[in-house]
Amino acid sequence: MSNNSDTSVPMTLYIECFGIILASVKLRNKSKKLKRNLRVSSTCKILKFYLLLAAITAVLSGCFDFVEEIKLHDNGSGAVKYKLNLSKSKTKIGGIMLMDSIRGFPVPSKEKIQKKLSEMKSLLNGQEGISNVKITENWSEYIFQLTMDFEHVNKLNLALKKTLAKEEKAKKYVYDAYSYSESKFSRNYIAQDYNEFSQWKTDVSTVLEGANLILIHRFDEPIVSKENAKYMLSKNSKSVMFRASFLDLKEKKVTLQNTVSLK
């Protein structure tokens, strides 16, 4: 991709099954007897979901990539892929999976993670306008992927909302992450408040160190314009890629917010 932006941070993207499962696990801070329900499911559910996920996985190392990839057609239909790549930390994760807890956080078993993933798949498959929901698990490299087709961007937003609505604590994290109308596609983003993470034993910045977020958006028609300079335009002008560290997102040095106009 040609660099039409001033960003030097590469980006691969999107969430995946393992993240959703891990986010469903209740974390406990034993020293303060706090419980957090982390069922802050998939994709467009912004940084807080990523942070909650990071608390379990990156507490060992902060090294992981989260990739969101969307293929959008002219009629608003398309496919989305969320991928969580923990391979950089696979040795540490493999060791942690053998433990009962780490730094006050209970470690979910492989069976529990797989059960939660299966539940998530069933929930999404039951949503109107969503089809072909698939989850891929690579337990050797710790790479997990969620893919699904949607009839329209609005259906995708609604399906994610309904999935999250089942969890009271997840509701406040919900917003329409995507919109499409009159040849304009927007990736929406609401900056998060990190005060609630002040009670964690591990500093949020430490958790996010080495963690990257990557967004890739592909279209049938050429892109005429884009609002966010951090999104890089491909040579054929039919896709954009955003890449940044979670730490930069936390510190509000970058934003995911972007609107592209199509020919």
The first and second tokens of residue 170, run together, are 């997840």
Q: What is the pLDDT of residue 21?
A: 34
* Domain membership flag for residue 11: no
* Domain membership flag for residue 125: yes
Question: Can you give the residue range of the structural domain that contains 131?
Answer: 17-262
* Domain membership flag for residue 51: yes
**Number of structural domains found in the chain:** 1
Q: What is the pLDDT of residue 220?
A: 97
- As a whole number of angstroms, the distance between CA 85 and CA 87 comes to 6
Q: What is the pLDDT of residue 45?
A: 42
* Domain membership flag for residue 77: yes
171 φ/ψ sector (left φ>0, alpha ψ -120 to 50, else beta): alpha
* Domain membership flag for residue 59: yes
* Domain membership flag for residue 154: yes
* pLDDT means over runs of 10, the chain (263 residues): 30 31 36 34 39 48 84 97 88 83 75 84 91 94 93 92 65 79 93 59 63 95 98 98 89 94 96
- Quote the pTM value: 0.76
* Domain membership flag for residue 73: yes
Q: What is the pLDDT of residue 37?
A: 35
Q: What is the pLDDT of residue 196?
A: 55
* Domain membership flag for residue 9: no
Q: What is the pLDDT of residue 244?
A: 93
